[in-house]
Amino acid sequence: MKIGERLKELRNKKKITQVDLANKLYVTDKTISSWESNRTEPSLEILVNISEILDCSVGYLIYGDNPKSDIETEIKVKISEKEYKELIQLLKNKAKFIKESRQLDTYYQPTYRKFLNDKEINEWLRIGERGNKKILNYKNWHDNMYCDEYEVEIDKSDNLDKIFNILGLEKIAIVDKDRKTYFYLNKYEIALDYVKELGYFIEIEVKKYTENPIDEYNNLLKIAKSLKLNLDNIDKKGYPYHMIYGNNS
Condensed to tens digits (0 to 9), the pLDDT of residues 180-220 reads 999 999 889 999 999 999 999 999 999 888 888 889 999 99
Residues 48 and 80 in one domain: no
Of 190 and 47, the structure prediction assigns the larger pLDDT to: 190
Query: Does residue 246 have a pLDDT over 60?
Result: yes
Residues 135 and 220 in one domain: yes
Check residue 26 and give its pLDDT. 94
Dist. CA 93–CA 174, nearest whole Å: 34
Number of other residues whose CB lies within 10 A of the CB of residue 92: 10
Q: How many domains does the chain have?
A: 2
Lowest mean pLDDT among 12-21, 54-63, 128-137: 54-63
Predicted local distance difference test score (pLDDT) of residue 37: 95
Domain that holds residue 83: 71-245
Task: Select from 22, 42, 63 the last residue of a domain.
Answer: 63
pTM of the model: 0.79
Pair (82, 32) in one structural domain? no
- Rounded to an integer, what distance in angstroms lies between the CA atom of residue 192 and that of residue 184? 13
**pLDDT confidence of residue 117:** 66
Q: Which residues pair with 126 in a beta bridge?
A: 107, 137
54 & 153 share domain: no
The reply to whether 123 and 206 lie within a common domain is yes
Say how far apart CA 215 and CA 101 lie, in whole Å: 30
User: What is the CATH classification number for the domain harbouring 149?
Assistant: 2.40.320.10
Task: Tell me: do 101 and 58 sit in the same domain.
Answer: no
- Whether residue 12 sits in one domain with residue 116: no
pLDDT reading at 35 higher than 90:
yes
Residue 175 has pLDDT above 80, yes or no: yes
Average pLDDT, the chain: 89
pLDDT at 173: 93
Greater confidence, 45 or 215? 215
Percent of the chain with pLDDT over 90: 56
- CATH number reported for the structural domain that contains residue 15 in this entry: 1.10.260.40
Q: 44 with 167, same domain? A: no
The answer to whether residues 22 and 107 belong to one domain is: no
Enumerate the β-bridge partners of residue 128: 105, 135
Farthest-apart Cα atoms in the chain, separation: 57
- pLDDT tier at 2, thresholds 50, 70, 90: confident
Rounded Cα distance between 200 and 181, Å, is 14
Q: Are residues 41 and 112 in the same domain?
A: no
- C-alpha distances (whole Å) from 162 to each of 55, 128, 158, 168 are 26, 17, 7, 10
Same domain, 107 and 152: yes
